[in-house]
Amino acid sequence: MLILIFVSIIFILSILLSKQIHKFNYYIYALAFVISMIATGEKANIISLGYVALSYFIVVMYTGVFDKGKTKKKLMTVRAENAILGTIFLIPHAYGFLEFYLDDGRFFTSLVPVIGLIALLIAIPLFITSFRFIRKRFTYKEWKTLHKLAYAFYITVYLHLVFIDNSRLLIYTIIFGLFFILKGFEKLKNHMKTQKKLKKKMIY
């Protein structure tokens, strides 16, 4: 499946070229933006259909649930870069389909564009605050709280895919479902660790 191929490529590049991606991130953003603008003016393609953007967001999603180690460290190094690139590649998809639904007069009669627009609006503050020079203006707690919106973004993206009613829905359900299951286990594990620490403090 195309989406799994793109996800695999991004994962591999993020691991093997994490230092280079991080070092030359703004050059990569500029290149991605140019490619996105070209894709916007073209007919349906892998970028305008949203495959590339979705692949980046899946990598960003799963980076957060990897166990600690060298792989996670490398992925975390470029997590912000991957999130920014995903949003840049989202532009042709959002623009093309919003234009289509508005011209067709079905924007307010279909859940697909409405949910897609909600996802885009959630993505904007996440995109802006993923740039390190902007992130520095926030405290860690403020930034972390804001970026909890990412979960709302993932849910709306999944719902957007559900209402498109495509043949790949099972794959998307497995991808997003597995992520939330793993995230739930991670939260439970961290909660149990916190409880153990509190018990030890109470004993001493």
pLDDT value, residue 123 = 96
pLDDT in tens, 110-137: 888 899 999 999 999 999 999 999 999 9
The pLDDT assigned to 97 comes to 84
Which positions of the chain have pLDDT values less than 50? none
The Cβ of residue 41 has, within 10 Å, a number of other Cβ atoms equal to 9
Residue 169 CB contacts under 8 Å (≥ 6 apart), including other chains: 161, 162
Domain with 39, as residue range(s), is 2-203
H runs (alpha helix) in the chain: 2-16, 18-23, 25-40, 51-63, 70-77, 79-104, 111-128, 132-135, 140-146, 149-164, 169-203
Helix 79-104 to helix 70-77 angle (10° resolution) is 50
**Residue 201: predicted pLDDT:** 65
Residue-level pLDDT at 166: 76
Q: What is the dihedral of CA 34, 75, 83, 66, to 10 degrees?
A: 150
Number of domains making up the chain: 1
Cα–Cα distance for residue pair 125/129, rounded to 1 Å: 6
